Amino acid sequence: MLEVVGLKKRFGDKAVLHGIDFQAEKGRIIGLVGKNGAGKTTIFHSILQFLDYEGQVRFDGQAISQASYEKIGYLPEERSLMPKLTVYNQVRYLASLKGLSTSYIKEQLPLWMAKLQVKGNPTDKIKSLSKGNQQKIQLMITLMHQPDLIILDEPFSGLDPVNTELLKQVILEEKQRGATIIFSDHVMTNVQEICDDILMIRDGKVVVSGSIDEVRNSYGKTRLFVASERTQKELEALPHVVSASRTKQGTWRLVLDDESAGPALFDILTQGQYVSTFDQQAPTIDEIFKLESGVAL
């Protein structure tokens, strides 16, 4: 388990982190989210001991040291492959820094290339690969030594939907293996889909934390999706309905000021008749992110 307690960081006179506290457990995925400049990468760099900081960072009860790095996999936001090297030489160099033998790398490389569906060969130069395939190579290097702690900074950046889904499955397999995983992403649907927990940062402070379900439900089930022939004006005139808007699926999305209004609205809207959709939900993580970022919905 990763434990971060009272994490503070200043760059000169500017305070960037203001006492960050959280835990990331084994076999769970925690999403670290926030607007650009919120402090996400600074948190990652502090965990990895790239920066001096105030506070405590422990993994499995121990302070992270040079010896810990063989148990850590880190995918930075800025990719750092050497374009003139072949895939094999690039992987061999970086994987050897994690203590992997040449024979193990030779055995695992084709398996990982097949698993990640890399279009290319071990003898191809990095620069000949597409950006997406280069990203897969870097993820491969991050995971090949089966780290206990995995830190992924924007792992889906620049990937098409098919490759995003592929990488999600690989990350979920690492979770199943028992790894502690923390990653950042600006696409909240990715966070909601694969994360168990969330840590939302604003201006270097924690504003939301907890399991995905706990966080969503704490905002109340104030989103109602319903199939109705009523007009927007008629729906917005109903008790406790703040706003009504059409979804892309053709149903109505009602925002309520009180989740307990659901049963009464069900009676009003159905009048004892069948309706194809009536679904009351909590706000999505994307909506919560916007709310906590000061965006009006």
- The pLDDT tens digits of the residues spanning 16-59 come to 999 999 999 999 999 999 998 889 999 999 999 999 999 999 99
Q: Are residues 133 and 44 in the same domain?
A: yes
Q: Are residues 24 and 147 in the same domain?
A: yes
pLDDT at 286 over 70: yes
Does one domain contain both 276 and 146?
Answer: no
Mean pLDDT of the residues in the chain: 92
Structure confidence by residue, pLDDT tens digits, 73-117: 999 988 788 999 999 999 999 988 888 999 999 999 999 999 999
Q: Which pLDDT does position 297 carry in this prediction?
A: 55
Quick one: what percent of the chain has pLDDT higher than 70? 99
User: Which of 135, 12, 158, 14 lies closest to 79 in space, CA to CA?
Assistant: 135
Where does the pLDDT of residue 148 fall: very low under 50, low under 70, confident under 90, or very high at 90 and above?
Answer: very high
- Rounded distance between C-alpha atoms, residue 135 and residue 208, angstroms: 30
Does residue 229 share a domain with residue 168? no
Report whether pLDDT(294) > 80.
Answer: no
Q: Which residue, of 167, 191, 217, is where some domain finishes?
A: 217
**Arithmetic mean of pLDDT, 127-147:** 92
- In the sheet that holds 2-11, the strands lie side by side as 14-24, 2-11, 54-59, 62-63
287 is a domain residue: no
Q: Which of 197, 141, 148, 198 is nearest to 174 (CA)?
A: 148
Q: Cα separation of 137 and 92, whole Å? A: 11
The domain containing residue 257 runs over which residues? 220-281
Domain assignment of residue 288, yes or no: no
Kindly give the interhelix angle for 102-115 and 87-96, rounded to the nearest 10 degrees.
120
Rounded distance between C-alpha atoms, residue 53 and residue 134, angstroms: 32
**Segment 223-233, tens digit of pLDDT:** 999 999 999 99
The one-letter code for the residue type at 96 is S
CA separation for the pair 205, 21 (Å, rounded):
9
Residue 260, SS3 per DSSP: helix
| Confidence label for 245 from pLDDT (cuts 50, 70 and 90) | very high
CB 199 within 8 A of CB 223: no
Mean pLDDT of all residues in 62-83: 86
CA distance linking residue 231 with residue 238, whole number of Å: 11
Q: Model's pTM, two decimal places?
A: 0.88
Do 224 and 192 share a structural domain?
Answer: no
